[in-house]
Chains A and B, each alone.
Chain A
Amino acid sequence: MTAAVTTDTELDEVPAADDGGRGAMRRFGTLAVAAAVVVGLLLGYAGGLLTPTFTRPGNNSVEAGFARDMTTHHAQAVAMGLLAFQQGQDPEVRQIGADIATGQQGEIGTMQTWLRLWKLDPTGDQPPMAWMSDGAQSIKNGLMPGMATPEEMKKLRAATGREFDVLFLQLMIRHHLGGVHMIRGVLDEGHDKDVLAVAQIMKNTQQNDLANLQAALKRLGG
Chain B
Amino acid sequence: MSISTPGGPERRPTVVSTGKKPAAGRPAAADKPADGKAGAGKGTPRPSAGGKGRKPVAPVKVSQGRSWGPIALFVAVGVLAVGIIGVGAWAVYRGSQPWQKRADAIKGVVDYRKKDKELVTGGRHQPGPIKYDILPPVAGPHNDSWQNCMGDVYDAPIANEHAVHSLEHGTVWITYRPDLPADQVAKLKARVQGQEKMMLSPFEGLDKPISLQAWGFQLKVDNADDSRIDEFIKTLRVNASVEGPTALCDQGITATGTTPRDRGGSQMPEQPTQ
- Taking the closest CB of chain B, its distance from the CB of A55, in whole angstroms, is 14
- Taking the closest CB of chain B, its distance from the CB of A84, in whole angstroms, is 12
A13 — which chain B residues lie within 8 A by C-beta?
Answer: 46, 55-56, 59
With A71-B245, A112-B245, A143-B194 as given contacts, are A7 and B8 in contact (CB-CB < 8 Å)? yes
A153 — which chain B residues lie within 8 A by C-beta?
Answer: 150
B72 — which chain A residues lie within 8 A by C-beta?
Answer: none
A5 touches B29 (CB 8 A): yes
- Taking the closest CB of chain A, its distance from the CB of B241, in whole angstroms, is 9
- Is residue A189 contacting chain B, with contact meaning CB distance below 8 A? no
Rounded to whole angstroms, the CA-CA distance of A78 and B252 in the bound complex is 13
Interface size on B, residues (CB 8 A): 78
- Is residue B42 contacting chain A, with contact meaning CB distance below 8 A? yes
- Is residue B39 contacting chain A, with contact meaning CB distance below 8 A? no
Secondary structure call for the A interface: helix
Interface size on A, residues (CB 8 A): 62
Q: Which residue of A lies closest to B55 (CB)?
A: A10
A75 touches B196 (CB 8 A): yes
- Taking the closest CB of chain A, its distance from the CB of B187, in whole angstroms, is 12
Rounded to whole angstroms, the CA-CA distance of A49 and B74 in the bound complex is 23
Secondary structure call for the B interface: loop
- Is residue A37 contacting chain B, with contact meaning CB distance below 8 A? no
- Is residue B91 contacting chain A, with contact meaning CB distance below 8 A? yes
A11 touches B245 (CB 8 A): no
A9 — which chain B residues lie within 8 A by C-beta?
Answer: 11-17
The winner among A5, A21, A124 for most chain B CB atoms within 10 A is A5
B47 touches A39 (CB 8 A): no
B42 touches A24 (CB 8 A): yes
B27 touches A6 (CB 8 A): yes
* Residues of A bordering B, CB below 8 Å: 1-14, 16-18, 20-21, 24-25, 28, 32, 35-36, 39, 42-43, 46-47, 49-50, 53, 71-72, 75-76, 78-79, 82, 105, 108-109, 112, 119, 121-125, 128, 139, 141-144, 147, 150, 153-154, 157-158
**20 interchain pairs (CB within 8 A)?**
A5-B45, A5-B46, A7-B4, A8-B16, A8-B50, A9-B11, A11-B14, A13-B59, A25-B66, A42-B85, A43-B81, A50-B91, A72-B151, A76-B196, A82-B251, A112-B246, A121-B235, A123-B238, A142-B194, A154-B254
